[in-house]
Amino acid sequence: MNTSLSFGKVAVLGGGNSAEREVSLRSAAAVCKGLQQAGVDAHFVDTAETDVLTLKSAGYQCAFIALHGRGGEDGHTQAVLEAIGLPYTGSGVMACALAMDKARTKYLWRGIGLPTAASRVLTKSDVNENLANVLAELGGKVMVKPSQEGSSVGMAKAENAEQLQHALQHALQYDQDVLVEQWLDGPEYTVAVLNGDALPAIEVRTPHEFYDYAAKYQDNTTEYICPAPISDALEAELRRVAVKAFAAVGGKGWGRVDFKTDTQGDLQLLEVNMVPGMTEKSLVPMAARQQGMSFSDLVVRILRSSQE
């Protein structure tokens, strides 16, 4: 089949105005190149410069969303594409909006019995709360995260009330809701989901205190091990829970589910990413390679799911 004819003119949406703009630009460039190598008539579109509402009138027949963070991963772009009747990759409006909100995603997972660490949601009015009590309630050491940011933006560790107050104030610069989560000491894993199936698990190792923005995008010290050096039973459990967690938020097409283990070695869900990083060195392409898929194969499969 001529892939150019089957998909028509494809807009690869990247950039945007979120805190993850630079990462998105790299993802979109890689996706565009991979699609072009497969014979797709793909064109990079920076949504900070081009109004998504004009895509259909510009002759585009499909959109590959490579936008990370607010505006692109939270349902806003998906809603516009729905309104103009342009097919797009990945999950729909509701699933993206829900998955972008880490706190509400955790509420849902808990409600259906999936494992996720204990947490509290704090707001600006809670800055002067007795934060020592919050720490004690969550085991004395916590991870602080803006509820609706990605790429570890605004995240920090806290082990005392002063650190927690500072971390909370920093996170509130990015979001009005801040997730304060029990610290997890165990290994970190990530599992990509593609068209209802889980790809091989990846173990993430970093010398940083946690897998922060620098560890993800700036340093060369982070290790990504695929296949993960784990038992067949743990691999199967990671894949099973990832598929269930993704489906629970209404996920479609592709995404990535992140885990850590606690001191007892039990898996705990961290979050689900509806538009994960897609450079050729990113985690979803790494897992796909382990499954025997080239980068071009992967992006074409993701694009094809937009037509299903």
Lowest mean pLDDT among 94-98, 165-169, 200-204: 165-169
- What residues have CB less than 8 Å from 28, skipping those under 6 apart? 12, 13, 14, 15, 44, 46, 66, 67, 278
Q: How confident is the model at residue 207 (pLDDT cuts 50, 70, 90)?
A: low
The pLDDT of residue 154: 77
Structure confidence at residue 1 (pLDDT): 46
Whether 305 is catalytic is: no
Torsional sign, CA 107, 112, 113, 116 = negative
pLDDT digits (tens, 9 = 90+) for 234-257: 999 999 999 999 999 999 999 999
For residue 167, pLDDT over 80 is answered with yes
Let me know if 282 is a catalytic residue: yes
* Unique residue bearing structure tokens 């994960």: 276
Per residue in 96-153, pLDDT tens?
A: 999 999 999 999 999 999 999 999 999 888 777 789 999 999 999 999 988 876 545 6
Q: Which of 203, 257, 209, 207 is nearest to 91 (CA)?
A: 257
Please, what is the average pLDDT of the chain?
A: 90
Least confident of 54-68, 76-90, 243-257, 269-283: 269-283
Q: What is the mean pLDDT of residues 42-46?
A: 98
Q: What is the mean pLDDT of residues 193-213?
A: 81
Q: pLDDT-derived band of residue 215, with 50, 70 and 90 as boundaries?
A: very low
Active site residue: 20, 73, 149, 181, which one?
A: 20
pLDDT given at position 5: 54
- Average pLDDT (201-208) is 84
Cα–Cα dist 67/274, whole Å: 10
* pLDDT tens per residue, range 270-305: 999 999 999 867 899 999 999 999 999 999 999 998
State the pLDDT at residue 263.
86
Q: Which domains does the chain have, with CATH numbers?
A: 3-89 (3.40.50.20), 98-115+184-305 (3.30.470.20), 119-182 (3.30.1490.20)
CB neighbours (10 Å) of residue 5? Answer: 10
pLDDT for the residue 149: 64
Q: Which among 151, 152, 296, 306 is annotated as catalytic?
A: 151
| Residue 146, preceding peptide bond in cis (omega within 30° of 0) | no
Amino acid letter, 121:
V
- Residue 211 predicted with pLDDT over 90: no
- On whether 219 is known to bind a ligand per the annotation, the reply is no
Active-site position among 152, 282, 296, 306: 282
**129 assigned binding-site residue:** no
The Cα 169–Cα 217 span in angstroms is 24
Q: What is the pTM of this model?
A: 0.90
pLDDT number for residue 150: 53
Question: Is residue 308 marked as binding?
Answer: no
* Mean pLDDT confidence for 41-54: 97
